[in-house]
Amino acid sequence: MSVFSNPAFDNHERVIFCRDEPTGLCAIIAIHSTALGPAAGGTRLWTYANDDDALHDVLRLSQGMSYKNAMAGLKFGGGKAVIMKPPDFDGSEALFERFGEFIDTLDGDYVTAEDVGMSVEIMATIARRTRYVSGLPLQSGKAGGDPSPKTAYGVYYGIEAAAKARLGRDSLEGLRVAVQGVGHVGYYLCKLLQEAGATLLVSDIDETRVDRVCSEFGADRVGSAQILSADVDVLAPCALGSILHQESIPGITARIIAGGANNQLRSPQDGQRLADAGILYAPDYVINAGGIVNVACEYFGDVDDDGVMDLVAQIGPRLADIFDEAKRTGEPTNVIADRRAREIIAGDA
Ligand code: NAD
């Protein structure tokens, strides 16, 4: 496994390998940047085929967190952690406690929270060993708890902004939206879209999750292989990343891609491919920042839950501004967002 020559390595400040044989813990923490504050970003629990895949994932995700936190105006740098799910994993608390001890050795340079495969309960277990953790059980009126409902709100505001910019629509009534992945973020997004009168098509590799949104929100089910090319106005990726690439983009008929998943583009060039195809792409780390806004407000303890919602609502206008610039200049939206994020991190914005 090579770190420095990994294509996702971007002058990360630190990469920490965490191994604990008795509990089976195999984790990697990547601190991309602490220029704006402690490197913050969730921990992903996932079955990786090998170490290289886990390393690649954490390097990319942590860079994305630097950009996300910068664009959201937070006093956070970017970091991320991945835990390689052991075969036959039984959810052992000892593994998560040991992981918390590793985080604690970093003295606050890395702050964790939920990502795929994690939960508020697991965060509480990690918090037995370190205070550098957020996304803990909610106390009434305060910011905190599972960040995914706030992520879903941000995505919803982003879809509104994109529908206005690309389709000239002021309402989501009757809008056809395909949601790939109806876990935490996808579920809450479906709820908001259904309340707004949108028509939903959904897919998930976990059929019980599909059953739930079909019965609760009147969604229609689509096979995992068909969801990207579904005949809809908006495609909302809310599962895993690297789904938008040279092979998948020609099959997409949606005019808008706006969803919560991280790292949706396989490569930056895929942003140009989407623009060339006339598809308006909401840069993932801009539209899905609602959860980290919640995490930051909880961690710094400076804003209550209403204040979090005000900050999350800014995601719509922030995207509208990027869409405007893209329309004026012809530049892909991901290029505009990356430039703005880098300027903020460098202190030039
Ligand atoms: P989750 O694990 O709760 O949900 C993900 C869902 O995607 C699961 O139900 C899973 O079965 C499904 N899935 C996986 N592969 C799939 C495939 N090929 N096709 C269809 N479904 C598939 O995770 P989550 O917290 O909802 O996060 C979803 C995405 O949003 C991730 O990319 C995550 O990094 C990103 N994200 C989450 C948050 C948050 O607040 N939870 C914040 C920002 C970004």
Residue 23, pLDDT above cutoff 90:
yes
Domain membership flag for residue 295? no
Tell me, yes or no, whether 179 and 327 share the same domain: yes
Atom of ligand 1 nearest to the CA of 147: 40
Query: Does the pLDDT at position 331 exceed 80?
Result: yes
Q: Which residue's CA is minimally distant from atom 20 of ligand 1?
A: 204
In a domain, 309, yes or no: no
> Per-residue pLDDT for 212 more than 80?
yes
Give the pLDDT confidence score for residue 264 in this predicted structure: 97
Euclidean distance between CA atoms 202 and 220, whole angstroms: 6
Q: Please give the backbone phi and psi of residue 280, each rounded to the nearest 5 degrees, phi first.
A: -85, 120
> Does pTM surpass 0.85?
yes
Please give the Cα distance from 151 to 167 (Å, whole number).
23
247 sits in the region (left: phi over 0; alpha: psi -120 to 50; else beta) called alpha
Residues 340 and 206 in one domain: yes
Residues 185 and 108 in one domain: no
> With pLDDT > 90 as the criterion, what percentage of the chain qualifies?
91
pLDDT at 268 over 80: yes
Which atom, in ligand 1's list, is nearest to the CA of 148?
A: 40
**Is residue 53 a contact partner of residue 44, using CB atoms and an 8 Å limit?**
no
Compute the distance between CA of residue 293 and CA of residue 313 in angstroms, rounded to an integer: 11
pLDDT score of 348 = 79
Cα separation of 260 and 151, whole Å? 7
Whole-number Å distance between alpha carbons of 290 and 203: 23
Compute the distance from residue 218 Cα to the ligand 1 centre, in Å: 21
DSSP per-residue string spanning 147-189: SHHHHHHHHHHHHHHHHHHHH--S--TT-EEEEE--SHHHHHH
Q: Do 24 and 80 sit in the same domain of this protein? A: yes
CATH number of the structural domain spanning residue 342: 3.40.50.720
Ligand 1: atom nearest CA of 61 is 34
CA atoms within 13 A on the CB side of 105: 9
User: Same domain, yes or no, for 63 and 177?
Assistant: no
The confidence score (pLDDT) of residue 171 equals 97
Regarding whether 118 and 176 lie in a shared domain, the answer is: no
Please give the Cα distance from 225 to 87 (Å, whole number). Answer: 26
Per-residue pLDDT averaged across 20-46, rounded?
97
> Which domain-ending residue is among 126, 157, 176?
126
**pLDDT one-digit tens code per residue, 294-313:** 999 999 988 899 999 999 99
Q: Which residue range is the domain that position 284 belongs to?
A: 148-288+316-346
148-202 pLDDT tens trace: 999 999 999 999 999 999 999 999 999 999 999 999 999 999 999 999 999 999 9
Same domain? For 205 and 79 the reply is no
Which atom of ligand 1 sits closest to the CA of residue 224?
A: 19
Radius of gyration of the chain (CA): 19
Query: Could you tell me if 133 and 40 are in contact, meaning their C-beta atoms sit under 8 angstroms apart?
Result: no
Distance CA 343, CA 349 (A): 5
Q: Is 343 helix (H, G, I), strand (E, B) or coil?
A: helix
For ligand 1, atom 35: residue with the closest CA = 261
Both 190 and 321 in a single domain? yes
Structural domain count, the chain? 2
Residues 48 and 86 occupy one common structural domain? yes
Cα 349 to middle of ligand 1, angstroms: 32
Same domain, 121 and 152: no
**Segment 101-143, tens digit of pLDDT:** 999 999 999 999 999 899 999 999 999 999 999 999 887 778 8
Is residue 189 included in any domain, yes or no? yes
What value does the mean pLDDT take over residues 238-256?
Answer: 96
Residue 138 is predicted with a pLDDT of 81
Q: Are residues 44 and 100 in the same domain?
A: yes
Would residue 297 count as lying in a domain? no
Domain final position from 126, 156, 174: 126
Nearest CA to ligand 1 atom 9: 183
Give residue ranges with CB within 6 A of ligand 1.
114-117, 147-148, 151, 180-186, 203-206, 209, 224, 238-241, 260-262, 288, 291
Q: Is 43 helix (H, G, I), strand (E, B) or coil?
A: strand
Could you say which of 126, 161, 176 is where a domain stops? 126
- Model confidence at 247, pLDDT cuts 50, 70, 90, reads very high
Q: Is residue 175 part of a domain?
A: yes
- Contact of 119 with 127, CB cutoff 8 Å: no
Nearest Cα neighbor of 241 from 277, 285, 286, 200 is 285
Q: Does any domain span residue 308?
A: no
β-strand pairing of 25-33 with 14-20: antiparallel
Apex 157 CA angle, 143 and 30, nearest 5: 60
Q: Report, as residue numbers or ranges, the catalytic residues.
A: 80
* Residue 140: predicted pLDDT: 75
Distance between CA atoms of residues 58 and 310, nearest Å: 30
For the chain, the average pLDDT equals 96
Residue 272: inside a domain? yes
Q: Assess if residue 141 is contained within a domain.
A: no
If you take atom 2 of ligand 1, which residue's CA is the nearest one?
Answer: 116
- The pLDDT tens digits of the residues spanning 62-98 come to 999 999 999 999 999 999 999 999 998 988 899 999 9
CATH number reported for the structural domain that contains residue 39 in this entry: 3.40.50.10860
279 and 153 inside one domain: yes
Task: Say how far apart CA 270 and CA 274 lie, in whole Å.
Answer: 6
